[in-house]
Amino acid sequence: MSLHITFRQLEIFACVAKQLSITRAAEFLHLSQPAVSMQVKQVENLIGMPLLEKNGKKLNLTSAGTLLQDYAEKMLASHSILEQHLAKLAGAEEGHLNLVVPETANQFVTLVLAQFTKLHPGISFHLEIHNRKGLLECLKDHGTDLAIMGQVPPELDLVAEAFMKNPLVIIAPPDHPLCGKQKISLHELMKNKFVVRELGSGTRIAMQRFFGEHGMHLKTSMEMPSNEAIKQAVAAGLGLGIISMHTLQQELALKQITIPQVEKMPILRNWYLVHQKKKILSPAMALFIQFVTQNTQKIWSSKYPELSSFL
């Protein structure tokens, strides 16, 4: 079989396959719906097999469509890397990175991006914020370049590089009885109820592992879908919480919450910069990885010196 599929056709089909919608793909590509449909139909005629099928109102990929999507995304990624290497040879720094991060990391990531883009204005970013489930889905997507995580999933074939400590601390409302005490034992802590993240979240996993290692089990009063919800619930007196220090600077400054002095705390984890092992590193990716691993701790400590003792 001799295929003469153009690069533009691959680009259009990759967008349709990702959106699973001719309409949304047309909007994204700034083309008309008939133009997008025609290009997909031409590729189907060249291959001799359907690429899309309708299931009611839902559009799905056929086996051939899934195969072509994988190939198209790899071709598009290779093309982008070629452009970046050529730009580097010409003395310019160019590129675009798709970065996904958890809500917990959003505050320090924006500080890092601000510093990085000042030094490398030719490199742009698309930033998405997800819970752990969303991060894992993104890491399976060829379109995601890098992710920041606190718990690296062993079941995925990933490269992970630790770049900063991620301390998890107990938080309480300022008027809580524990706040005036020194060196609270874990047994005393267990008498309290906790507001916790949803099952499967990185913080929940680390929390369960820590207390399980000490033969203890937390009493939970409710589950919350985000760190912001936990902080608000704790401030309102609904229970204690366990949360990353990197999300607390505003609440501590406003004295909405406090950090009781609990023995064997904080729970120290690492932040990791992660990408698929089979991912070909573009110049922009390599540059950003180097910057994050060498500078994140310094940027955070400079911005929030009062919190650096937890790191």
> Any idea what the CATH number is for the domain that residue 55 is in?
1.10.10.10
Mean local confidence (pLDDT), 116-144: 88
Residue 82 lies inside a defined structural domain of this protein: no
Domain that holds residue 65: 7-73
The reported pLDDT for the residue numbered 1 is 54
Residue 155 lies inside a defined structural domain of this protein: yes
Residue 128 lies inside a defined structural domain of this protein: yes
Residue 155 and residue 275 in one domain: yes
The reported pLDDT for the residue numbered 163 is 93
Domains identified in the chain, total number: 3
From residue 64, how far is each of 47, 53, 58, 71, 157 by CA, in Å?
9, 11, 18, 11, 25
Instruction: Tell me the pLDDT tens digit for each residue of 60-72.
Output: 999 988 998 888 8
Residue 276 and residue 256 in one domain: no
pLDDT at 231 over 90: yes
Share of the chain above pLDDT 90, in %: 36
Residue 66 and residue 194 in one domain: no
Pairing verdict, β 193-197 and 123-130: unpaired
Mean local confidence (pLDDT), 219-227: 88
The reported pLDDT for the residue numbered 310 is 53
From residue 218, how far is each of 118, 168, 192, 211, 230 by CA, in Å?
45, 15, 8, 8, 16
Mean local confidence (pLDDT), 112-128: 92
CA atoms in the 13 A half-sphere facing the CB of 242: 31
Residues with Cβ within 8 Å of residue 304, at least 6 apart in sequence:
249
Mean local confidence (pLDDT), 8-28: 88
Share of the chain above pLDDT 70, in %: 94
Residue 259 and residue 275 in one domain: no
Residue 52 lies inside a defined structural domain of this protein: yes
Residue 68: count other Cβ atoms within 10 Å of its Cβ: 24
Residue 276 and residue 265 in one domain: no
Residue 263 lies inside a defined structural domain of this protein: yes
pLDDT at 311 over 60: no
Collapsing DSSP to helix, strand or coil, 179 comes out as: helix
Residues with Cβ within 8 Å of residue 90, at least 6 apart in sequence:
none
The reported pLDDT for the residue numbered 9 is 87
Residue 136 and residue 227 in one domain: no
Residue 66 and residue 129 in one domain: no
The reported pLDDT for the residue numbered 97 is 92
Do residues 94 and 282 make contact, with C-beta atoms less than 8 angstroms apart?
no
Residue 81 lies inside a defined structural domain of this protein: no
Could you tell me the pLDDT band of residue 87, with boundaries at 50, 70 and 90?
low
Single out the residue in 25, 42, 73 at which a domain terminates: 73
Residue 254 and residue 169 in one domain: yes
Residue 264 and residue 170 in one domain: yes
Do residues 33 and 105 make contact, with C-beta atoms less than 8 angstroms apart?
no
Instruction: Tell me the pLDDT tens digit for each residue of 148-197.
Output: 998 898 888 899 999 999 999 999 999 999 888 888 999 999 999 999 99
pLDDT at 91 over 70: no
Residues with Cβ within 8 Å of residue 135, at least 6 apart in sequence:
100, 101, 102, 147, 149
Assign residue 223 the CATH number of its domain: 3.40.190.10
Q: Distance between CA 247 and CA 103 in Å, rounded?
A: 9
The reported pLDDT for the residue numbered 199 is 86
Burial category of 208 from C-beta neighbours within 10 Å (exposed 0-12, middle 13-18, buried 19 and up): middle
Residue 150 and residue 292 in one domain: yes
Residue 189 lies inside a defined structural domain of this protein: yes
pLDDT at 2 over 60: no
Residue 143 lies inside a defined structural domain of this protein: yes
Q: What value does the mean pLDDT of the chain take?
A: 87
The reported pLDDT for the residue numbered 4 is 81
Question: Does pTM top 0.85 for this prediction?
Answer: no
Residue 172 and residue 150 in one domain: no
Instruction: Tell me the pLDDT tens digit for each residue of 21-62.
Output: 998 888 888 888 888 999 899 989 888 899 999 888 788 999
Residue 223 and residue 104 in one domain: no
Mean local confidence (pLDDT), 89-104: 80
